[in-house]
Each structure stands twice: as structure tokens, then as C-alpha cells.
């Protein structure tokens, strides 16, 4: 179990571990409960879920059954775009609280820059003030949408959770986030294993130099730059290995080597097609849960 967890502090004071546990695609409640239980036992203290993952009940059950005190766990959930309105967000936050079986959610994010996310954002600020949420942020917001929301709402998102890995490094969005004081959180830090990321010669050479795995190098490359990562695994050995990825440091030269692997250096960030929006809006977290 890791005891020297490195952290970063969000706007408002929430202390976030730099390595968390992601639960996307763990659809069944019992599987989610088991995975989160194992993660907490391994030493994870940041658990990430979402209404759109349909596993909040299992995640919440694991947290309630754990011997880890609730106040030591940073729990994240997210608002699905079908609930993106002022009234919809109020209902959705309460629904997530009920599904999770908790009194508060540590970090709550707008899952997509879709729908009336301005109205939803206003609702989240009120829910935060009422104590139901400790910190609010966004997910999948590109640089422009992030800056727009921060400037015109008057409330800067504490977090922007985006796809980020050595293949897609999101420089524009990271630059804007740094200007605003928004912490970047990376989903898909391993690019879902695509395009030989675990066998890339640059990364494997660095891994051999430090006597660690390529996965650990990828996670350390992100966390050493202050980026939170939320890798997912249902295998305890990988959970342990991922969590140990802050036990060494890369050199500036090694970070620069990985920076050159960026395949989309001019990437403006998430841009949703009409077809993708249709698919997203066909998902309804208010519907049937297992």
C-alpha cells in the first residue's frame, strides 16, 4: 500500500491525489463495488465515477463498506448532458448523492460542454454553497469553452478532466487552464493502449533506465507536470503498479522526449460532431440502473 501519495490542491482547498482510480466501463454494480474496494485497499484515495457510467451505486457501496474514513476519500462524479440545465442539475446532483449513498460529493463536474451548461453551472455553484459539493469543475471542455465559462460565469472551474496522454497532449487547453488556475485531470492516460504506446521506443528506453514499467513512465510524465491521472484496472497487481508511479522522477530531458511524441500539437481540444452529440444524448442516467 502506498503511503507517500503526492497531491495537488484545487481552488477552494480540496486536496486531490495525483493518481486516482477510474471506473469508466465498469458497468455492473457488483464489479464496480469490488474494483473500488480493491483500489481503496491498495491505497487509492481519489475515486472517479459519473452518472453516465451507471455504476454510482456500486462505487458508493464500496466507499461505505470500506474501513477508510469517508473524509480521506476524494469522490468525483459528473453531470450528464441530458441533465444540463439549472433545474436538471439540481435533480441530478441529488440523484447521484442518493445512488452513491453519501452526504456530499467532493468534486462534481459538467461531463460535456453540451446543453444549457451555463444554467447547470449556476446550479452547481449553489449546490456547492449549500454543502452538497466541495468543488466544481468540468470535463471535455476545450480551451475556448473553458475560458468562456470562467470569464462569463464568474466562477473558474477547479478541474478540467480531458483526454490526455503522450499521443494527445492538449497543449492549448493546458495553457488556458494554467492561466485560469484550473487543474488538468487526464482520462485515458494510456490512450487505451492504442498505436503501440506501451512498446514505443522512447518510453521503453526511459522505463529501462529507471527500472520501471512503460505504464509507470506515462503516469509519471503526467503527474510530474501537475496533471492528475485516473487509470482504470480491475487487476490488483496493475492497481498497485499504477499507484507506485510517483515513486521516481523523470529528468527534464526525458519529459521533453515524451513531449515530442505529441501527434496533435495544434489540437484545439474536444470538438463534438453532430453524430457524437446524438449518441451522447441517447444515454439517460435517470433511466434504469442495475
The pLDDT score that the predictor gives to residue 288 is: 60
pLDDT by residue (tens digit) across 111-152? 999 999 999 999 999 999 999 999 999 999 999 999 999 999
Rounded CA gap, 223 and 220, in Å? 5
Domain carrying residue 128? 13-281
**Which one is predicted more confidently, 133 or 288?**
133
Domain containing 147 — which CATH number?
A: 3.20.20.100
- List the grid coordinates of 268: 484545439
What was the pLDDT predicted at 1?
47
Strand pairing partners for 108?
77, 136
| Mean pLDDT to the nearest integer, 100-114 | 98
2 in any annotated domain: no
pLDDT at residue 2 greater than cutoff 90:
no
Please check the confidence at residue 172 and state whether its pLDDT lies above 70: yes
**Does residue 220 sit within a domain?**
yes
Assign 3-state DSSP to the chain and report helix, strand, coil percentages, each to 5: 50, 15, 35
Q: How many domains does the chain have?
A: 1
Q: Where are the alpha helices (DSSP H) in 117-223?
A: 117-129, 143-153, 171-180, 201-210, 214-223
CA distances from residue 181 to 18, 77, 177 in whole angstroms, order as listed? 16, 21, 6
Supply 84's cell numbers. 444540463
Is 230 part of any domain?
yes
Question: CA–CA separation, 258 vs 222, rounded Å?
Answer: 10
Residue 120 in domain? yes
Distance, in Å, from the CA atom of 113 to the CA atom of 115, rounded to the nearest integer, reads: 7
pTM above the 0.85 mark?
Answer: yes
As a whole number of angstroms, the distance between CA 186 and CA 87 comes to 29
Distance from chain centroid for Cα 249: 22
Instruction: Respond yes or no: is residue 44 known to be catalytic.
Output: no
Distance CA 228, CA 233 (A): 16
Q: Assess if residue 289 is contained within a domain.
A: no
- Whether the CB-CB separation of 228 and 17 falls below 8 Å is answered with yes
Known binding site for substrate: residues?
111
Catalytic residue among 53, 108, 117, 132: 53
Asked, for residue 105, whether it belongs to a domain, the answer is yes
Q: What is the pLDDT of residue 271?
A: 86
Tell whether 146 is covered by a domain: yes
pLDDT of residue 133: 98
Amino acid at each position: 500500500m502506498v503511503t507517500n501519495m503526492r497531491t495537488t490542491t484545487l481552488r477552494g482547498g480540496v486536496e486531490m491525489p495525483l493518481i486516482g482510480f477510474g471506473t469508466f466501463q465498469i458497468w455492473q454494480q457488483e464489479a464496480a463495488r469490488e474494483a473500488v474496494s480493491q483500489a481503496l485497499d491498495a491505497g487509492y484515495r481519489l475515486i472517479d465515477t459519473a452518472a453516465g457510467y451507471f455504476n454510482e451505486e456500486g462505487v458508493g457501496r464500496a466507499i461505505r463498506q470500506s474501513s477508510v474514513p469517508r473524509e480521506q476519500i476524494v469522490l468525483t462524479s459528473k453531470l450528464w448532458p441530458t441533465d444540463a440545465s439549472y433545474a436538471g442539475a439540481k435533480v441530478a446532483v441529488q440523484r447521484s448523492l442518493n445512488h452513491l449513498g453519501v452526504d456530499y460529493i467532493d468534486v462534481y463536474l459538467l461531463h460535456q460542454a453540451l446543453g444549457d451548461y451555463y444554467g447547470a453551472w449556476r446550479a452547481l455553484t449553489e449546490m456547492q454553497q449549500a454543502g452538497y459539493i466541495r468543488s466544481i469543475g468540468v470535463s471535455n471542455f476545450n480551451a475556448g469553452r473553458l475560458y468562456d465559462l470562467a470569464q462569463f460565469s464568474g466562477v473558474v472551474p477547479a478541474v478540467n478532466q480531458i483526454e490526455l496522454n503522450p499521443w494527445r497532449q492538449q497543449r492549448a487547453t493546458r495553457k488556458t487552464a494554467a492561466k485560469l488556475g484550473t487543474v488538468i485531470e487526464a482520462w485515458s492516460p494510456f490512450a487505451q493502449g492504442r498505436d503501440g504506446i506501451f512498446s514505443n521506443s522512447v518510453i521503453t528506453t526511459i522505463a529501462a533506465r529507471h527500472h520501471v514499467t512503460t505504464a509507470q513512465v506515462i503516469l509519471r510524465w503526467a503527474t510530474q507536470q501537475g496533471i492528475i491521472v485516473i487509470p482504470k484496472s480491475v487487476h490488483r497487481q496493475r492497481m498497485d503498479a499504477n499507484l507506485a508511479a510517483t515513486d521516481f522522477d523523470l529528468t527534464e530531458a526525458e519529459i521533453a522526449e515524451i513531449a515530442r511524441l505529441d501527434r496533435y500539437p495544434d489540437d484545439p481540444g474536444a470538438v463534438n460532431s453532430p453524430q457524437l452529440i446524438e449518441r451522447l444524448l441517447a444515454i439517460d442516467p435517470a433511466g434504469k440502473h442495475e
